[in-house]
Amino acid sequence: MSFQFPITRSQQSAASNQHPATRSQQPAPGSQQPATRSQKLKAKGRGTSKGQYFSFDAIIASVVFVLTVLALMSYWNSVKAGMETYSDETTKEAIRISDLLLSPPEPLEIKDCSGTADKEVKRLGFAVSWENRQLSKQLLKSCQSITQENLRSLLGTPYNVSVFINSSSGLFDAIQIGNSFEDTSQSKNVAKVRRIVAVRDDKGEANPATMDIFVYQ
Bridge-based pairing of strands 135-136 and 160-167 is unpaired
One-letter amino acid for residue 54 of the chain: F
Per-residue pLDDT band at 204 (split at 50, 70, 90): confident
Name which of 178, 167, 177 is nearest 200 in CA terms.
167
* Count of alpha carbons within 13 angstroms of residue 63, beta-carbon side: 6
Name which of 190, 164, 167 is nearest 177 in CA terms.
164
Q: Where are the alpha helices (DSSP H) in 87-201?
A: 89-101, 137-142, 148-155, 181-185
pLDDT tens digits, one per residue of 138-151: 999 989 988 899 89
pLDDT tens digits, one per residue of 152-167: 999 999 999 999 999 9
pTM of the model: 0.57
Chain mean pLDDT for the chain? 76
pLDDT tens digits, one per residue of 41-93: 555 555 555 555 557 777 888 888 888 888 888 777 766 665 555 448 889 99
Bridge-based pairing of strands 191-200 and 135-136 is parallel
